[in-house]
Amino acid sequence: MITAAYAQTMARYNRWQNQQLADCMAPLPDAALTQDRGAFFGSILGTLCHLWWGDGMWLSRFGAGDPPGGGIDHSTDLFSSRSDWQVARAKMDARIMAWADGLLDADLAGDLTWYSAAAEAEFTQPVAPLVVHVFNHQTHHRGQVHKMLTEAGVKAPVSDLPFLPEVP
């Protein structure tokens, strides 16, 4: 279905997008980032916190480190400021890059079994679609942030994959 090269490209895309979001958020005060904007996870920062938490959960399921603390209900209030989020996000993106760079195509075969506290159930599914899910989840929530930034009067970043810089 997918290859390790796909995961590596998407990890680079994720890092690039998060760097661009951080740059775009710079002119906004923290209050604008924490303002409830009616999104599923409330605010810009709340959505970015949830995304960070989700990335950490999936990486832990893939055997790439410990899970983040707390559950999905508290995933929106992990960082109280842009600067705290930026530091944590850069570390998470490096973790995602290291995980993806270490993947072999064979690692994407087979099944993964995990327990979801949110669903209160154990699941077993093929690994490859779960990896695709992680990158789709990132794109989905960054799209919500893009919309909220636009509504806040900020020019949101370019998000088209064909414009991903060729820097590793």
Q: For each of the domains in the chain, give its residue range(s) and CATH number, in order of start.
A: 4-156 (1.20.120.450)
Residue type for position 42? G
pLDDT in tens, 122-137: 999 999 999 999 999 9
> 39: which DSSP letter?
B
Average pLDDT of 57-70? 94
**Average pLDDT of the chain?**
94
Strands (E), 26-98: none
Give the pLDDT of residue 166.
81
| pLDDT band, residue 70 (cuts 50/70/90) | confident
Q: Which helix (H) or strand (E) holds 113?
A: strand 111-116
Q: Report helix, strand or coil for 35.
A: coil
Percent of the chain with pLDDT over 70: 99
CA nearest to 127, candidates 64, 57, 61: 61
pLDDT in tens, 88-98: 999 999 999 99
Average pLDDT of 155-162? 91
Give the pLDDT of residue 167.
66
